Structure 1
Amino acid sequence: MSSSRLGLRLAVCLLNISEARRKYIVENVAKAALLKKNGQKHPEVSVLNVFSDQGYNRSVITIAASVAELGNSVLAACLEAFQSIDMEVQEGIHPCLGAVDLIPIYPLSGVGVEECGAVARNLAENLVQRIPGCSVFLFGEADLPEKRTLVQRRKQLGWFTRRDFSALKPDLGVAPARRCGLTGIGASPYVMNCNVTIDSQDLALGKEIASAIRGSNVNGLKGVQTMAFPHEGKIEIACNVESFEDQEVTETSEGSQYMAYSVLGDHFYYVSPHYIEAQVKKLASDQGIGIKGRALIGFTPQECKNCAEYAIKEGIGEFWKIRRGIFM
């Protein structure tokens, strides 16, 4: 049964927190998203996935809900995270600026990206009011009127290299407290995370491959943002795969470069994870090395929508605990 027939207008947040090594904290954050202020469970909220990487010391918690409930649900998760994570002692390979590092909100069904932007702005205002020392930068549809992308904002703020919070200027809130750091909040069409591991320890080679497929490269993959990291004795090519609108894209069959989906009649495209893996494999093989596998962190847009509809219809709040057997 579709979400429209269920009467639900669905959105999702891929909440990025700077903690993975203390499992109980990550699970407490996930569980907090499911509860109302009175301790009762939200009937229209489900945590679809919890992904933690101990080397990165970063977790991504996928929270799906009716658009009316999502802001409050994510706020509750963030309150738990800020209480438990201290950026003064946080360590990890992955770049980050905040205890709650990133709060992107994406439309799934029956809601547009503009409304998700309004949810994100309201959430940002509530966070800086509720959390002493919390400060926020905005991106995408939450960043009015400029609507600067997450990539643009991260470059401006030195997200890839900076750990000194004192000189950062937030869009909302006071100067970042060292414990909290700086949190990015915004909305856009769906962005998924796809990582490919190459069978090498050569970080320079990894960066070369990442640069070759990056969307900003003239021969790169449209909408793909990349970084290379040492990871478990190998090199991981970490990709953020952005959805985009493009009238010229027509290749949407299985195994092609682009996949397609629609929200409120708007058609979006993204580069297939299989195609990303194939491109990395080709570039690596040109250097005489192979790949060790691909990991999709969470879901494609279609999978996320399907899982959200199922979980909320069936009242499964802790969907991440059973998801391996469903829609995969």
Structure 2
Amino acid sequence: MTLTNTGTKEKLETARRISRDVRGKYEAMAREFDYHHSISRTDPDEEGREPGHKTGLALALLGVELAQKDQEFIRLERHSVFEERDSGALDQKVAELQLRLLDKRYLAVGQELWEHQKKAVRFDLETVFGSCAQSVVRPGNALLMPMLVKHRFDNFEIVIVPVDASETPIQRWRCDFMSADLTLEQTCQLHTGVPGGMQHGMELVFFNEKRPVPRLLYLHFIMALARIKDLRRPGWKDVWARYHQQPPFPTPCAYMRKSIILALVTHFETVVDEMLMLESWIAGNGFEVPLCPLTDAESVEMARRLREAAEIRMLDEERQIRLLHYETDDGTGSESD
């Protein structure tokens, strides 16, 4: 439906007022909070305080809202230019000039939106990892895997843990299987390039001196423990007992908030017999921030987000695997079993 001039003007005024109100709130909050200081870079192994963490996250989210409102206002301005041009009130060349200026503003606001979104993600990560969250999102912190191996990793059938928990810093990592039904015969089909395929406990080979940040692999490890318990995968109790007797990660070492570790593993239920093992992991690799504690509801919500993100990633992996099977089929056009 084409907007009338009157309708467009009314919408413009409403959008301008909303944008102005949000900007006022944003600027007032920014004056009370040292936003840039709170997201300054930290060394990967440095644990510190989280000054104004909740305020910083709120400010980042408000910045996202402000940028979105500004974009909406610019889109309405474009409608106004089109209407004035179509009515003959604006020359075509003048209209094009105005549209180009609006496009420039829209691109700039898009950049602001992206910056605020990145800051919001960083604050979410700080909720989980503390002030060392920056080390998790750095470009160099990546693991390249064949697609089918990555599928096993994302499905929490495979974890990557230190070879020697006493090594500092950790340089040697191994691959452990989290499913009793993940056999050598299956792993031979993972296209690893390793004779005989991947095996439980196999040490990984890195092609340079860079190594992943331990806290990221620890999060994956904890989520794998939670998932095999939730799905009651065959042998899950033996896996839990194995890592309780021989913790694979250095202890004590603060990797994640204690409350989030607890919320991740007890997502569906709390079993008394499992709490002894869980408490040992919390004590050995968890931390809390006295100046910025999370409520139980906040811990549960963060655990829910982590689980949801993992589920979305697994579904995406499954789609890619099905597509790979389809493309490598022998020409019948059907997916492989």
TM-score, normalising length: structure 2: 0.26
The structure with the larger Rg is 2
Q: Which has the higher helix share?
A: 2
* Larger RCO (alpha carbons 8 Å, 6+ apart): 1
